[in-house]
Amino acid sequence: MSDKQSLVSNAFQTFMSEAPEYAQAWAGLVQELASASALDKKTQALAYVAVLAALKRESGIPFHVQSAKEAGASREEVISAILVGLPAAGHVVTQVLPAAVAAYDAD
């Protein structure tokens, strides 16, 4: 998928268009946190996918799976990142698997 904007959830698109000052502040914070991380981009992207899965945040999965893929993550690594939370979070992590696989395979 070349157009990552199409992967952004409707809720987040609404946030960006209806509250641009908040969205800009949020984006700045996200960039600063990413810069502060000791993790490489691929590891950070996979960890983020794992957190989204544990929190059942399926709406963010397509965008962040594509980010992980662009950072060099394989399909198997994305699936493993989601399932790493299985012991701690339980079966809920599997709920994002269909969206993750679809997002990874779409190209």
Instruction: Convert the pLDDT of each residue in 21-43 to its tens digit.
Output: 999 999 999 999 989 999 999 99
Q: Residue 1: what pLDDT?
A: 41
The pTM assigned to this predicted structure is 0.87
Residue 49's CB is within 10 A of a number of other CB atoms, namely 29
Q: What is the pLDDT of residue 2?
A: 46
Q: Is the pLDDT of residue 87 over 70?
A: yes
Mean pLDDT of 80-89: 96
Give the span between the Cα atoms of 50 and 13, in whole angstroms: 22
